[in-house]
Amino acid sequence: MISPEQACTCGPAPAAYTAKDFRSNLKPIWCPGCGDYGVAAAIYRALAAIGRPPHEIAFVSGIGCSSRIPGYTTAYGFNSVHGRALPIAQGIKLARPELLVLVAGGDGDGFSIGGGHVPHAVRRNIDLTYIVMDNQIYGLTKGQVSPTSARGTKTPTSVYGSMEEPVNPLLYTLAYGAGFVAQGVPADLDGLTAIIEEAIRYPGFSFVNIQSPCVSFGDAENQVKSQKVRMRKLAAEGHDSANRIRAMELAQEYGQTLYTGVFYRNPNPPPTFDRQVRELQDQLQPARERSQAPGH
Partner 1 sequence: MNDLVIGMAGAGGDGIVSAGESLIGALAKEGYFAILTKSFGSQIRGGESSCRLRVATVPVANPGGVLDVAVALNWDDFLRFGGELPVGERTVVIYEQKTGVAPDALPLGSVEPAVSLAVPIEELARKTAGTQQAKNSVVLGLLAGWFGLPREGILAGLRRKLAAKGDAVLQGNERAFAAGLDYAAAQPLGSEYRLDPPHATATRRIVTDGNEMCAQAALFAGCTFFGGYPITPATEIMQHLQRDIWKHGGVVLQGEDEIASIAAAVGASFAGKKAMTATSGPGLSLKTEVLGLASVAELPLVCVDVQRGGPSTGMPTKREQADLFAAAFSAHGDSVRPILAPTGVADTFAVTVEAFNIAERYQTPVIVLSDQEIAQRKEVIEAVDLTRFEVLDRLVPTAAELEGYTRFRLTDSGISPISHPGMKGGNYLAAGIEHDEHGAPTASGGMHARMNDKRLNKLNPLKDRRDLFMIEGDADATIGLISWGSVAGIALEALRTARSEGLEVKLLVPTLIYPVAEEIYREFFASLRQCLVIEQSHQGQLHRLIRMWVDVPDNFASLAQSGANPIAPSDVVARIRGMARQPVRTSRRHPNDLMNTL
Nearest distance, CB of residue 263 and partner 1, angstroms: 24
Is 290 one of the binding residues for partner 1 (CB under 8 A)? Answer: yes
Is 31 one of the binding residues for partner 1 (CB under 8 A)? Answer: no
Residue type at 180? F
User: CB–CB of 101/249 below 8 Å?
Assistant: no
Whole-number Å distance between alpha carbons of 7 and 5: 5
Rounded alpha-carbon distances, angstroms, from residue 228 to 84, 101, 149, 185, 188: 33, 30, 21, 9, 7
CA angle 253/259/262 to nearest 5° reads: 110
User: CB–CB of 97/274 below 8 Å?
Assistant: yes
User: CB–CB of 77/33 below 8 Å?
Assistant: no
Is 281 one of the binding residues for partner 1 (CB under 8 A)? Answer: yes
Residue from 9, 36, 39, 74 touching partner 1 (CB under 8 A): that is 74
Rounded alpha-carbon distances, angstroms, from residue 90 to 99, 187, 271: 11, 30, 16
Beta bridge partners, 262, equal 182
Is 91 one of the binding residues for partner 1 (CB under 8 A)? Answer: yes
* Residues in contact with partner 1, shown as a per-residue x/- string from 189 to 228 under the rule CB under 8 A: ----------------------------------------
Provide the sign of the torsion angle of the four alpha carbons 270, 274, 278, 281, taken in this order: positive
* Residues in contact with partner 1, shown as a per-residue x/- string from 34 to 73 under the rule CB under 8 A: -------------------xxxxxx-x--x----x-xx--
Is 177 one of the binding residues for partner 1 (CB under 8 A)? Answer: no
Nearest distance, CB of residue 90 and partner 1, angstroms: 5
Judged by CB, which is closer to partner 1: 89, or 192? 89
Q: Which stretch binds partner 1 (CB under 8 A): 79-87, 139-147, 159-167, 264-272?
A: 79-87
Whole-number Å distance between alpha carbons of 101 and 135: 23
Judged by CB, which is closer to partner 1: 31, or 81? 81
- Count interface residues toward partner 1 (CB under 8 A): 54
Rounded alpha-carbon distances, angstroms, from residue 293 to 281, 288, 296: 21, 10, 6
Residue type at 161? G
Nearest distance, CB of residue 102 and partner 1, angstroms: 11
Judged by CB, which is closer to partner 1: 95, or 235? 95
Nearest distance, CB of residue 18 and partner 1, angstroms: 17
Nearest distance, CB of residue 27 and partner 1, angstroms: 10
Rounded alpha-carbon distances, angstroms, from residue 154 to 36, 99, 140, 145, 158: 23, 42, 17, 7, 5
Residue from 9, 44, 65, 90 touching partner 1 (CB under 8 A): that is 90
Nearest distance, CB of residue 36 and partner 1, angstroms: 15
Is 288 one of the binding residues for partner 1 (CB under 8 A)? Answer: yes
Is 77 one of the binding residues for partner 1 (CB under 8 A)? Answer: yes
Distant-in-sequence, close-in-space partners of 259: CB < 8 Å, separation ≥ 6: 183, 231, 232, 233, 234, 237, 250, 253
Is 242 one of the binding residues for partner 1 (CB under 8 A)? Answer: no
Binding residues (CB under 8 A) for partner 1: these are 26, 53-58, 60, 63, 68, 70-71, 74-81, 84, 86-96, 98-99, 116-117, 119-120, 277, 280-281, 283-288, 290-296
